[in-house]
Amino acid sequence: MFTLVAATLFTASFLLAAGTIGWMFLTYHDKMVAALLFKPIPQEPPVYHIRINRPRVRLTQVRHAPARTGAYAA
Classify residue 11: in a domain, yes or no: yes
Classify residue 1: in a domain, yes or no: yes
Span 10-58, pLDDT tens digits: 999 999 999 999 999 999 999 999 999 998 887 887 788 888 888 876 6
Q: Structural domain of residue 36, as residue ranges? A: 1-40
Classify residue 36: in a domain, yes or no: yes
Structural domain count, the chain: 1
Q: Read off the pTM.
A: 0.45
Distance (Å, rounded) from C-alpha 46 to C-alpha 44? 6
How much is the pLDDT for 63?
Answer: 64
Classify residue 54: in a domain, yes or no: no
Classify residue 27: in a domain, yes or no: yes
Classify residue 35: in a domain, yes or no: yes
Classify residue 60: in a domain, yes or no: no
Neighbour-count burial of 9, counting CB atoms closer than 10 A to its CB (0-12 exposed, 13-18 middle, 19+ buried): exposed
